[in-house]
Amino acid sequence: MSRVSSVGHRAVGVPWTRRARQNLRILQVIAGAEFKLKYAGSALGYAWSVIKPLSLFTVMYLVFGRLFGLNEISPYYGVSLLIGIVLFGFFSDATSLGMTSLVARQTLLQKLRFPRIVIPVAATVTAGLTFAVNAVVVAGFVAWKQITPQVDWLLIVPLLAELYVFILGIALVLATLLVRLRDIGQVWELALQVLFYASPVIYPVGYLPPFARNLVFVSPFSQVLQDIRALVLYPDLPGNTITAGDALGEYGRLIPIAVALGVFGLGLWLFRRNEQWFAERV
């Protein structure tokens, strides 16, 4: 008879490959259910995943692109803005869903034994599904601008992987803290508003003074955003988009990467340290 560890939630004697398949299945079920429930009961359904970022893009483009003339700095400002909005939407949705995932799945925590980390991971994957839909819309705008695909675009994959590691680390920290302190939800909502305008989503990084520019690129989100813009929009005009390497020096790109890994390590450590009490405290 197999025994179940009360701390690690692992069945003793069960091969790790079988446990991995079981955990992956749980991840798929939770993520799929979250994605369906997110738009359940609405008239437009999944279309909302596209309508919301496009609506925000339209308002921002009219105000900052047309009214404030940022559209004149580059023929690709509109696409650049859309890339920023979609990436920040992914960051915002994934961290917010990950933060509330444990509290929202109280029943699962109390009745079933499985690695608790599956729940926040599933929440971030749900946000990733929405991001994938929005990425198709961005690809349509890129094609409309007649931008020729480049082999270097393959580098977008590791960049998104870096961003996801950063997001998951934040989600693990927030999910752990929310179990103890429910005010974290309000704090993070305010922090996201500040981060949106503090990041180069709307405005070019070159508009910032050097000290602020360096500070912005400590954030993995800003580094990934600018690198993707440089790869997709300005492969032949690298000077049009300032990246972390330009602002922080030859090895400056390693700083935001280190931050992403550090945040993930902190989140994983904090989550593992507290997961045995999640079921009692939610």
Question: Domain for residue 68, yes or no?
Answer: yes
Question: Domain for residue 5, yes or no?
Answer: no
**pLDDT for the residue numbered 28:** 76
In the chain, which stretches have pLDDT less than 50? 1-12
CA distance 85 to 23: 32
* Domain that residue 57 falls in: 16-281
Question: Domain for residue 11, yes or no?
Answer: no
**pLDDT for the residue numbered 208:** 87
Residues 6+ apart with CB under 8 A from 42: 48
Question: Domain for residue 82, yes or no?
Answer: yes
Question: Domain for residue 132, yes or no?
Answer: yes
The model's pTM: 0.86
Question: Domain for residue 4, yes or no?
Answer: no
Q: Are 167 and 95 in contact (CB under 8 A)?
A: yes
**pLDDT for the residue numbered 6:** 39
Q: How many domains does the chain have?
A: 1
Question: Domain for residue 6, yes or no?
Answer: no
Question: Domain for residue 225, yes or no?
Answer: yes
**pLDDT for the residue numbered 4:** 39
**pLDDT for the residue numbered 282:** 67
